[in-house]
Amino acid sequence: MREDVGQLLWVGFPGPQLPSELRARLDAGAYGATILFKRNLVYTKVAGAVPTEVCDLEALAALSRELHRAAPDGTPALIAVDQEGGVVQRVRAPATQWPPMMAHDGFAAPDDERTAEQVGRAIGDELRALGFDIDFAPVLDVHTNPDNPIIGNRAFGHDAATVARRALAFARGLDAAGILACGKHFPGHGDTDTDSHLELPRVDHPWDRLESVELAPFRAAAAAKLPMIMTAHVVFPALDPTRPATLSEQVVTGLLRQKLGFEGVIVSDDLDMKAIAAHLGAGDAAVRAVRAGCDVLLLCNDQRNQVLAEEALIKEAERDSDFRAKVGAAAARVRTMKRAHAANQARQPAPARDVVGSYANRTLADKLAGRA
């Protein structure tokens, strides 16, 4: 049961070195994956007409090798990153610098879809060469609110059909590179006017509007069997008037799992974000998220919260057999995904390191940005 709980907990850590305590916890099966941020990468400032920072790729590859550990039952720990393009890309120069995904608006159909798949493959190849397993992308949110402070041009478009077409093409590209895709942020963060990193947003649209706009890309993702979908820390009164989507059984299980038929792994957004952390302790939030139907809980910043979440999940699983069954089912989905991922990577050997920032990828980025 403890190893099942471990598969549900995916964590971040400070600094570019693997802490000895985290190494031990990974070896014990306490965590199912690690998540890398800019703070985990070694950057060197390079002087010039435009001063820039350059990532030490050797240090990153060495860290990846250390993080690829396995639980006592042999289940591997995976490595995840947010590498969307635009402002959200943790690995920067000398890796290819991608424009935001809204840049696909510069192409007419079907060239936009074809380009999106090429971009997903290129990003996936670079991540694979550096040892990553998961890209928390594509964004499936529909950008309908110009005052949205967190999504904006991270989205693939302004209407649901366009977003679904481009984003799922991007995901196919990641898959072809041997990288797991994770669509986000269910059931839709595109029409918020606040940032869930800082506070708890609301989307007050009625069901008919949600079904035709916000939910449509996620319905397409479920039909396309995307391996992962990430929840949003957003309240949708038409779906659940009191709880954010991440903590709502009506939203996660009733809507995503049952109504939309999603069979993959459901990932919570970071439980350290203020939309959740300002209202609940980490342990309570973790238990509520699993009860709602989340299979994986992200705890990206606070190491104490990671321990509290683990303790709370174990205690609740020991107390409640129904909850223990939920934990077991979630862990089984994670392990099934990991086995499929290993098989996919076996079919797609990792490219050489020189793919990172290659001329072909930089040319594609220039084409997407309209600089070609």
Catalytic residue annotation: 197, 269
Q: Please give the structure tokens belonging to residue 49.
A: 């007409």
51 three-class SS = coil
- Is the distance from CB of 299 to CB of 308 less than 8 angstroms? no
Q: Return the closest-CA partner of residue 286 out of 271, 267, 274, 303.
A: 271
Give the residue ranges of DSSP H helices in 145-298: 160-176, 207-212, 216-223, 249, 274-277, 282-292
Strand arrangement of the beta sheet that strand 9-11 belongs to: 265-267, 228-231, 180-186, 134-135, 78-81, 33-36, 9-11, 297-299
What is the DSSP code (8-state) at residue 118? H
- Is the distance from CB of 80 to CB of 35 less than 8 angstroms? yes
Query: Facing residues of 54 across strands?
Result: 44
Report d(CA 184, CA 264) in Å as an integer: 13
Q: Please give the structure tokens belonging to residue 62.
A: 């060495």
Query: Facing residues of 53 across strands?
Result: 45
Report d(CA 82, CA 88) in Å as an integer: 7
Q: In degrees rounded to 5, what are phi and psi of residue 191?
A: -115, 25
Q: Please give the structure tokens belonging to residue 119.
A: 């971009």
State the sign of the Cα–Cα–Cα–Cα dihedral 192, 194, 195, 201. Answer: negative
CA 145 to chain centre: 22
Omega cis (within 30) before 237: no
Query: Facing residues of 180 across strands?
Result: 134
CB proximity list for 236: less than 8 A, separation 6 or greater: 187, 202, 203, 205, 210, 245, 251
